[in-house]
Structure 1
Amino acid sequence: MPAAPPPGPSSRTALVVRGGWEGHQPVETTDFFLPFLEANGFTVRIEESPAIYADADHMATVDLIVQTNTMNTIEREEFEGLRTAVENGTGLGGWHGGIADSYRNNSDYLQLIGGQFAAHPGNDPQKRTGEPSDNYVPHIIHMLPAAADHPITAGIDDFELVTEQYWVLHDDLNDVLATTTQAVRPWDPWHRPVTSPAIWTRLWGRGRIFVSTPGHRIEIVENPTVRTIIERGLLWAAR
Structure 2
Amino acid sequence: MTARNALVVRGGWEGHRPVEATEMFIPFLEQEGFRVRVEESNEIYADESVMADIDLIVQSVTMSQISAEAFAGLRRAVERGTGLAGWHGGIADSYRNNSDYLQLIGGQFATHPSKHPDQCTGDESDNYLCYTVDLTDLGREHEITAGLEDFTLRTEQYWVLTDDLNDVLATTTHPVQPYHPWHRPITTPAIWTRNWGQGRIFVATPGHSLVVLRDANVRTIIERGMLWASRTVSE
Q: Kindly indicate whether the alpha-carbon contact (under 8 Å) linking 1:199 and 1:212 is maintained by their aligned counterparts in 2.
A: yes
- Partner residue, 1:169: 161
2:60 maps to amino acid: T
2:170 pairs with 171, 178, 187, which one? 178
User: 1:10–1:40: 8 Å Cα contact kept in structure 2?
Assistant: no
Percent identical across equivalent pairs? 65
Amino acid at match of 2:43: A
- Distance, in Å, in 1 between the alignment partners of 2:141 and 2:77 is 28
Contact 1:177 1:200 in 2 (8 A): yes
Q: Which residue of 1 aligns with 2:48?
A: 56
| Structure 1 gap segments, 5+ residues each | 1-8
> 2:63 corresponds to which residue?
71
SS of residue in 1 equivalent to 2:71: helix
What's the counterpart of residue 20 of structure 1?
Answer: 12
CA distance, structure 2, for counterparts of residue 58 and residue 238 of structure 1: 16
Structure 1 residues 22-101: aligned runs within 5 Å: 22-101=14-93
State whether residues 10 and 42 of structure 1, in contact with CA within 8 Å, keep that contact through their aligned partners in structure 2: no
CA distance in 2, matches of 1:10, 1:16: 19
Amino acid at match of 1:224: A
Q: Which residue of 2 aligns with 1:134?
A: 126
1:149 maps to which of 132, 138, 141? 141
Is 2:226 aligned against 1:234? Answer: yes
Offset, 1:217? 1.1
Structure-2 separation of matches of 1:158 and 1:42: 30
- Residue number in structure 1 paired with 2:96: 104
Deviation for aligned residue 1:127:
1.8
Aligned-pair distance for 1:125? 1.2
Q: What CA deviation, in whole Å up to 9, does each residue of 1:172-224 have, x standing for no partner?
A: 00000000000111100000011110000000000000000011111111000
Paired position in structure 2 for 1:193:
185
Q: State the distance in 1 between where 2:221 and 2:166 align.
A: 17
1:124 counterpart (87, 96, 116): 116
User: How far 1:126 moved relative to its partner?
Assistant: 2.0
The one-letter code sitting in structure 2 at the alignment partner of 1:203 is: N
Q: What is the number of equivalent residue pairs in this alignment?
A: 231
Instruction: Show CA shifts across 1:92-129 (max 9, x none).
Output: 00000000001000000000000000000010112211
Alpha-carbon distance in 2 for matches of 1:114, 1:10: 31
Taking structure 1 as the reference length, the TM-score comes to 0.96
Instruction: State the SS of the aligned residue for 1:148.
Output: helix
SS in 1 for 2:28: helix
CA displacement, residues 11-42 of structure 1 (integer Å, 9 cap, x when unaligned): 10000000111110101110000110000000
Other-structure match for 1:6: none
Q: Which runs of 5+ in 2 are unaligned?
A: none
Query: Which letter maps to 2:71?
Result: F
Looking at structure 1, the residues matched to 103 and 32 of structure 2 have their Cα atoms a distance apart, in angstroms, of 30
